[in-house]
Structure 1
Amino acid sequence: MLVRSLDAGWSRGSIVAVDAGVHLSAIARILEETQPPALGDEVALPHVLESGPFAGLEVRTKSPSANAAHITRQLVDTYLITHPHLDHISGFVINTAGLPGTRPKRLAGLPSTISAFKTHIFNNVIWPNLSDENNGAGLVTYMRLVEGGSPALGEGDGKGYLEISDGLAVKMFGVSHGHCIERHSHRGSTSSSRIGSTDVSMMSPRGAPGSNAASGPSSAFRTTSLARSSGGGQEQESICVYDSSAYFIRDHATGREVLIFGDVEPDSISLSPRNLGIWQEAAPKIASGRLRAIFIECSYDDSQTNDRLFGHLAPRFIMEEMRALASEVETVRQNPIKLETTKKRKRESDAAIRRANRIAARSSGDDHPVSPKSTRPRGSISGSDGVTSPIPTPIPTPHLATPTAELTLKDLDPTVQAAFPVKPSSVNPLAGLKVVIIHVKDNFSDVETTGEIILSELQDYEKDAQLGCEFVISSKGESFLL
């Protein structure tokens, strides 16, 4: 997916790519369909394209592939990678060596995503080391983003946003993309409970610096220890939650934003639910009209059972998440001051939980970091307003078979029911918001495509929910002006 600020025009480095699974070949196919058929013959060169997502771009050759190479080489400087799965990175990896420019491409993402590239991709085994670290070729430079935004950057509405190209700035949040189906001990991480924010490519199996990163697994996982009965006692297993990302991308000229998710699972069946925090961040932007579109994956239709989602969404969960967002938007519109106080208390609570987890890990000698969303220590938290709140009792999580049994956080503890939103009280709280469905997996049917089924199911849900948002199934070469 390509993002551009209209104010920046088609200048060098004006395009930001969010993931790059196909990239160059997709751009070439779009140009094949939108360039004039007689370009270079009856239509003189250079020529300014008049249609398609690249309208207004001047091309100097009649070859769609050559023009696509120019776009990739000169106009795209930064790649925001949501997570290092092959279907999200392969185009970038393969094309980088063949299209060198005069400056390195910036690869931005979670520190754990960067670590996965260093350890498993640009390692001179799977692919040459094209990066500018560890004596590489220097075609790629890594940019490690801070979850929740960089607190020292920006001001006002733009606080925390990092400028990544002319006219565009970004704020990134980690999300959960399912869990590892293997049961094994994960070493190579620190005692911090936020694995996604830690680059462990230079950590030893027990956390000592300077050892070979290949001795441990990819740091794209966070781990949580689950107890299960075994004979007369209990033994610990590690379930690894895979990190993905969501990006708020802001246009400096207009102040408008889009929210783009990588692969993500619903909070209600996640071992590390983090979507609600993103909806709380998005709600005031939607209420003010600054956030106009959300690009979110929906890989399967509702015929896919929970145990076969593998960290993805289906329409029933898209609507569950949209109801959560709608509830947050209603809260903002009804009492914005109360929301800011609630969000501040939540940040203080999470910080205290993370500190307690680190202390517990050090005192017990446990190598395995504990996700703050999965297991929490007993005790209380004192906020800045002097109010003391109890830390919730850990949710008893049973052993998860492979594949995952169909269970939700709601099933595990009745007290968790309150954490999930009910139907919003107002009508059309998300009016004006476009929800663009991406990452739809083909069902290879000549009767009805997965996208058609998903859209029909979402529209049926919307008739009952009356959220007011417009659902769109993305298609190749489609562009959105916001």
Structure 2
Amino acid sequence: MLNKYLFINILYLFFLPFSGFSQSNKSFKIVPLGVKGGIDESNLSAYMVAAAGTDDYICLDAGTLNYGIEQAIRNKIFSIPAEQVLKRYIKGYFISHAHLDHVSGLIINSPEDTAKTIYGLSATLKTIKTHYFTWESWANFADEGEAPALKKYHYQILSPDSVTMVKNTGMSVKAFPLSHANLQSTAFLLKSNESYILYLGDVGPDEIEKSNNLHLLWEAIAPLLKSRKLKAIMIETSFPNEQPDKTLFGHLTPNWLMKEMEALAGLAGKDALKGFDLIVTHAKPPQVNINKLKAQLKAQNKLQLNLIFPEQGRRIDL
């Protein structure tokens, strides 16, 4: 009898760590460095994302870097100085489009940064090369463009729908074009092992943009939703519903976001979206408008999505 109980206890002690790990197992960690659109230059779109258990981050857009890293340090997310987070932890930048609120942190911090790759669609990288990393507007820290090229950054063009391995990480990315008023934006589908996160840069609804880019994106990710491999979607809602369609300028409101989510549900099934993590990005000040659009999203959440409103410097585990 004693041997029987001893055997059971040994089995319990052996399997306990593994069962605990499976319950708390996460695939990604996200550190928002900036979460807003608009005029607050200390808090503009930028999200560090890494596979769980690593510090090999990429940065999805780069509107605010240093101030967001400092906020994360204050919240005890990082234990090394901000300049070391910038230099050592961020392995590359994925820029959805070249508007200043998505690239200004990258430009300003470039003198203190280390050698990295900037990934993006061809049109996005062309704007960075010809308008920002030039000697008339700043300095050419890249390995292409106006001479002399300082060769700190390497441009890597992403071909839509092709998979690209991310240097110095175990992750891969697939890019999808988006419509954002008068220019092209990008969605990045990030993969680690068999788990995915989808990040969308600025985007307008298909109906207003006279586009099918979002529909094509929903078709591509619907199987990942059904199989529970997609852990979250990060998507903008810039204005409350009171914003007229004619002045959306390639952005979403709660009404339009939920219409797009209904379109996705039509492809993946409503059960796939129930409780699914939807991270709402790029809300534009003033704060009264941000509060209003949050309330509207919650009121219109018929699909029972798990709405997450990211905060600068506070980690999200998925």
| Contact 1:16–1:165 under 8 Å retained in 2 | no
Distance across 2 between alignment mates of 1:286 and 1:91: 33
Shift of residue 107, structure 1, vs aligned partner: 0.6
Aligned to 1:92: 106
Could you tell me which of 296, 310, 321 is aligned with 2:249?
A: 310
Q: Does the alignment pair 1:176 with 2:176?
A: no
Deviations 1:122-171 (A, max 9, x none): 1211111111124400111101001112xxxxxxxxxx353344221111
Q: Structure 2 unaligned segments of length 5 or more: list them.
A: 1-46
Q: Does the alignment pair 1:471 with 2:314?
A: no
Aligned to 2:296: 457
Distance across 2 between alignment mates of 1:477 and 1:25: 9
Aligned to 2:25: none
Distance across 2 between alignment mates of 1:178 and 1:147: 19
Percent of pairs with identical residues: 29
Alignment partner of 1:436: what SS? Answer: strand
Distance change >3 Å, CA 477–CA 93, structure 1 → 2: same
Distance change >3 Å, CA 100–CA 441, structure 1 → 2: closer
Aligned to 1:284: 223
Aligned to 2:134: 123
Q: Does the alignment pair 1:5 with 2:51?
A: yes
Answer with 1 or 2: which has the greater Rg: 1
For 1:292, the aligned partner's letter is K
For 1:439, the aligned partner's letter is H
Alignment partner of 1:17: what SS? Answer: strand
Q: Does the alignment pair 1:15 with 2:57?
A: yes
TM-score (norm. length: structure 2): 0.81
| Contact 2:160–2:176 under 8 Å retained in 1 | yes
More strand by share: 2
Could you tell me which of 243, 259, 262 is aligned with 2:198?
A: 259
Task: Give the 4+ runs in structure 1 shifted more than 3 A.
Answer: none
CA RMSD of aligned residues (A): 1.5
Aligned to 1:322: 261
| Contact 1:176–1:274 under 8 Å retained in 2 | yes
Aligned to 2:19: none
Shift of residue 293, structure 1, vs aligned partner: 0.7
Distance change >3 Å, CA 321–CA 165, structure 1 → 2: farther
Mapping 1:142-161, distance limit 5 Å? 142-149=155-162, 160-161=163-164
Aligned to 1:108: 119
Distance across 2 between alignment mates of 1:474 and 1:451: 12
For 1:113, the aligned partner's letter is T
Deviations 1:392-411 (A, max 9, x none): xxxxxxxxxxxxxxxxxxxx
Could you tell me which of 158, 170, 182 is aligned with 1:167?
A: 170
Alignment partner of 1:294: what SS? Answer: strand
Shift of residue 319, structure 1, vs aligned partner: 0.5
Shift of residue 478, structure 1, vs aligned partner: 2.5
Mapping 1:282-431, distance limit 5 Å? 282-330=221-269, 428-431=271-274
For 2:72, the aligned partner's letter is I
Distance change >3 Å, CA 138–CA 161, structure 1 → 2: closer
For 1:479, the aligned partner's letter is R
Deviations 1:195-224 (A, max 9, x none): xxxxxxxxxxxxxxxxxxxxxxxxxxxxxx
Deviations 1:345-389 (A, max 9, x none): xxxxxxxxxxxxxxxxxxxxxxxxxxxxxxxxxxxxxxxxxxxxx
| Contact 2:51–2:171 under 8 Å retained in 1 | yes
| Contact 1:249–1:257 under 8 Å retained in 2 | yes
| Contact 1:455–1:471 under 8 Å retained in 2 | no
Aligned to 1:417: none
Deviations 1:282-340 (A, max 9, x none): 1110100010111101010001111111111000000010001101103xxxxxxxxxx
Aligned to 1:442: 285
Q: Does the alignment pair 1:248 with 2:189?
A: yes
Shift of residue 451, structure 1, vs aligned partner: 2.8
Deviations 1:12-55 (A, max 9, x none): xx110001111112111221x22xxxxxxxxxxxxxxxx43x3x
Shift of residue 467, structure 1, vs aligned partner: 1.7
Distance across 2 between alignment mates of 1:161 and 1:283: 21
| Contact 2:158–2:164 under 8 Å retained in 1 | no
Q: Does the alignment pair 1:141 with 2:154?
A: yes
Distance across 2 between alignment mates of 1:287 and 1:164: 29
Distance across 1 between alignment mates of 2:294 and 2:212: 25
Shift of residue 271, structure 1, vs aligned partner: 2.9
For 1:175, the aligned partner's letter is L
| Contact 1:164–1:170 under 8 Å retained in 2 | no
For 1:461, the aligned partner's letter is Q
Distance across 1 between alignment mates of 2:132 and 2:179: 22
Could you tell me which of 74, 83, 87 is aligned with 2:97?
A: 83
Distance change >3 Å, CA 22–CA 163, structure 1 → 2: closer
Distance change >3 Å, CA 318–CA 173, structure 1 → 2: same
Q: Structure 1 unaligned segments of length 5 or more: list them.
A: 35-50, 60-66, 150-159, 180-241, 331-426
For 2:136, the aligned partner's letter is V
| Contact 1:78–1:106 under 8 Å retained in 2 | yes
Shift of residue 86, structure 1, vs aligned partner: 0.4
TM-score (norm. length: structure 1): 0.54
Alignment partner of 2:97: what SS? Answer: coil
For 1:137, the aligned partner's letter is L
Distance change >3 Å, CA 77–CA 163, structure 1 → 2: closer
Distance across 1 between alignment mates of 2:228 and 2:70: 34
Shift of residue 459, structure 1, vs aligned partner: 1.9
For 1:136, the aligned partner's letter is A
Aligned to 2:36: none
